[in-house]
Amino acid sequence: MKDLFIVSDLHLHPEPIEHPGRESFIEFLSFLSNRTESGELWILGDLFDFWFEYRSVVPAGYSRVLASLRTLSSIGWDVHFLPGNHDFWVGRHFRTATGAIVHSEQIVEVDLNGRPSALAHGDGLGRGDLGYRLIKPFLRCGLSRILFGLLHPDLGAFLAKAFSGTSRRVLRREADSIPSGLANWVDDRLSSGTEIVVTGHTHVDSIIRRNTGLHVSLGDWLVRMTYCIIPGDGGEPVLETWTGCPMVMAQKNGEQGEGSAGDE
């Protein structure tokens, strides 16, 4: 079995707008591409803070991330994307640019080393977020896509930025708990035979043992820079914090050492 890597909630802005996790994520993807064995990468939504593809216009400013994902898929990695509440309009251009498999279902049921598992972004699950759950079907329907596509791309991007405050809110305060509605939904899944549930959306990084299984909450790449590894040899899920590619860090440390020696 292949090693499985899972991330979510990067909320990338188009370059050259600054983003606290962009360079780290590109380093992380480079690290994966240099592993001796290919694996699987799952992105459980909100890779982008906003994404919309017009017929002849696609979002600019994401070329490095898209190219890094394409590199993975071209060398044998299975790249999967499950849209979140910020990038549910991902379409043909994204698939073509990255080689990723885009999943349209809200919950993906998979077998992880013989353990029945469920992967989801996490938005609108459970009894919480009533207002969002009511408006979600309208936001994701074909009519909304058509109506938004009538807007000039600049106006569409402006409106999306105005209504998308997740990144700013997360950077201002720490998320520290799983909402009760989502936690209850996870409990129901684990009670019905699912052994591992992996979600994003909340930006909380934790692995919680519930009932007879595990709930992995992925954190984010705005503050935490966290990712989950599920080893292909049957090991337990582990949450790791990306602190830099070993090769890149060694090179940087070497350059700093040379500079210090020259100053003496």
pLDDT tens-digit series, residues 112-156: 888 999 999 998 887 766 555 555 565 655 655 555 555 656 655
Who wins on pLDDT, 45 or 149?
A: 45
Rounded to the nearest integer, the mean pLDDT of the chain is 83
The pLDDT, as a whole number, for residue 205 is: 96
Ranking 54-63, 102-111, 212-221, 223-232 by mean pLDDT, the lowest is 54-63
Q: Can you tell me the mean pLDDT for 22-41?
A: 96
Q: Nearest 10 degrees: CA dihedral of 130, 9, 106, 83?
A: 120
Question: Tokens representing 152?
Answer: 């000039």
Question: d(Cα 30, Cα 47) in Å, to the nearest integer?
Answer: 17
Which of 139-148, 155-164, 196-205 holds the top average pLDDT? 196-205
Question: Tokens representing 44?
Answer: 């459980």
Task: Name the percent of the chain lying above pLDDT 70.
Answer: 72
Closest CA to 140 of 89, 94, 83, 84: 89
3-state secondary structure of 197: strand
For 4-263, CATH number out of 3.40.47.10, 3.60.21.10, 3.40.228.10, 3.40.50.300 equals 3.60.21.10
